[in-house]
């Protein structure tokens, strides 16, 4: 399935860790195993993996905090593997940056399918974004500038500062300052930004960004990630909501004020 990929299996149950490791080795990963949160962070920092499977119940650090710290170190795929099956646990895991959430007990075939889906899902909004950013194709950069309206010119506080998306570097800048987004948040923003002014439904976002049937049971996961995305963008763009909720329909990206 993959070649020259590295995975870190974070699991304090030796038997479960061995099963997951064996599967990942079988499909082409070089696997490192960590039994504690502290060890996991050290290994992730050292090897910069492409994939982390993360048990949420670790003996030293709670998995939520481990996931949050992993996101500060790397943009790798993270699949939470946990016995915690309440919706709130799933949502918290996704809120702190996990790409998927798998509840124990689970089948190895399901885990394999979810891993395969993550690695074939388009990361990518590079081409749609590039198509929209015809003014700067060489840099493959999308600049979303405010409309030159009289209101914005007369009162700068009501205007919108530029929002820049660089698909190659996977960077987002608001007012020239980089905004730290998770992999999923970036993909959601870039997909919506490629269709400015168009309402995109939750199911369409699931298909475009997750590109899989193996997603949480509810489309509420989209709302969770978009809520985090909005909060991060809002820190650098006060008085403008880049992503608007169209009640009962979906979400619309508004590149400008007005």
Three-state SS letters, 44-98: HHHHCCCEEEEECCCCCCCHHHHHHHHHHHCCCEEEEEECCCCHHHHHHHHHCCC
Residues 200 and 142 in one domain: yes
CATH number at residue 197: 1.10.10.10
Residues 32 and 81 in one domain: yes
Residues 79 and 148 in one domain: no
217 within domain boundaries: yes
Among the candidates 120, 135, 156, a domain finishes at 120
Q: 165: exposed, middle or buried (C-beta count within 10 Å: 0-12, 13-18, 19+)? A: buried
101 contacts 52 by C-beta, under 8 angstroms: no
Residues 111 and 133 in one domain: no
CA distance 220 to 16: 29
CATH number at residue 90: 3.40.50.2300
Residues 73 and 15 in one domain: yes
The predicted model scores a pTM of 0.52
Among the candidates 68, 100, 120, a domain finishes at 120
Residues 22 and 111 in one domain: yes
What whole-number percentage of the chain has pLDDT above 90?
17
Which residues, listed in sequence order, are joined to residue 171 by a DSSP beta bridge? 166
Residues 148 and 112 in one domain: no
Give mean pLDDT, residues 25-33: 92
Residues 190 and 245 in one domain: yes
Looking at per-residue pLDDT, the higher value among 235 and 108 belongs to 108
Distance of CA 63 to the CA centre of its chain: 17
User: Is the model's pLDDT at 51 over the cut of 90?
Assistant: yes
Least confident of 9-23, 149-163, 177-191: 149-163
Residues 82 and 160 in one domain: no
What whole-number percentage of the chain has pLDDT above 70?
75
Inter-axis angle of helices 87-95 and 63-73, to 10 degrees? 20
The side-by-side arrangement of strands in the sheet containing 142-144 is 142-144, 163-166, 171-174, 177-178
Cβ atoms < 10 Å from Cβ of 229: 22
| Res 186: pLDDT | 85
pLDDT class of 207 with cuts at 50, 70, 90 = confident
258 within domain boundaries: no
Which residue range(s) make up the domain with 201? 126-253
- Radius of gyration of the CA atoms of the chain, in A: 19
Give mean pLDDT, residues 207-226: 64
Residues 22 and 101 in one domain: yes
Looking at per-residue pLDDT, the higher value among 225 and 140 belongs to 225
CA distance 162 to 136: 14
Mean pLDDT, rounded, of the chain: 75
Residues 152 and 37 in one domain: no
Phi, psi of 252 (to 5 degrees): -130, 135
221 within domain boundaries: yes
Looking at per-residue pLDDT, the higher value among 146 and 12 belongs to 12
Residues 231 and 141 in one domain: yes
Least confident of 19-23, 29-33, 185-189: 185-189
pLDDT tens track for 113-151: 989 888 876 544 333 333 323 333 333 333 333 333 222
160 within domain boundaries: yes
Q: Could you write out the DSSP letters of every residue in 152-185? A: HHH-GGGS---EEEETTTTEEEETTEE----HHH
Is the torsion defined by CA of 145, 224, 81, 216 positive or negative?
A: negative
Among the candidates 120, 152, 175, a domain finishes at 120
pLDDT tens track for 62-101: 888 888 889 888 889 999 988 877 777 778 788 788 888 8
User: Is the model's pLDDT at 16 over the cut of 70?
Assistant: yes
Count the domains in the chain: 2
pLDDT class of 54 with cuts at 50, 70, 90 = very high
Inter-axis angle of helices 87-95 and 220-236, to 10 degrees? 30
User: Is the model's pLDDT at 159 over the cut of 60?
Assistant: no
């Amino acid at each position: 399935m993959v070649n020259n990929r590295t995975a870190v299996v974070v699991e304090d149950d030796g038997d479960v860790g061995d099963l997951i490791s064996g599967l990942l080795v079988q499909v082409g990963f070089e696997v490192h195993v960590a039994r504690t949160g502290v060890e996991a962070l050290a290994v992730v920092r050292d090897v910069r993996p492409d994939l982390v499977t993360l048990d949420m119940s670790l003996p030293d650090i709670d998995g939520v905090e481990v996931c949050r710290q992993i996101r500060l170190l790397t943009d790798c795929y993270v699949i939470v593997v946990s016995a915690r099956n309440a919706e709130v646990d799933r949502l918290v895991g996704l809120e702190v940056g996990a790409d998927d959430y798998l509840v124990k007990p689970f089948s190895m075939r399901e885990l394999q399918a979810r891993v395969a889906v993550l690695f074939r899902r388009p990361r990518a909004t590079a081409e749609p974004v590039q198509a929209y950013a015809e003014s700067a194709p060489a840099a493959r950069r999308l600049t979303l500038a405010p409309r030159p309206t009289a209101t914005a010119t007369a009162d700068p506080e009501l205007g919108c500062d530029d929002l820049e998306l660089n698909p190659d570097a996977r960077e987002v800048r608001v007012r020239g300052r980089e905004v730290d987004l998770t992999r999923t948040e970036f993909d959601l923003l870039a997909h919506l930004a490629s269709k400015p002014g168009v309402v995109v439904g939750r199911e369409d976002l699931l298909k475009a960004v997750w590109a899989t049937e193996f997603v949480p049971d509810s489309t509420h996961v989209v709302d969770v990630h978009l809520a985090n995305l909005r909060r991060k963008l809002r820190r650098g763009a006060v008085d403008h909501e880049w992503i608007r909720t169209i009640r009962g329909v979906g979400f619309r990206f508004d590149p400008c004020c007005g």
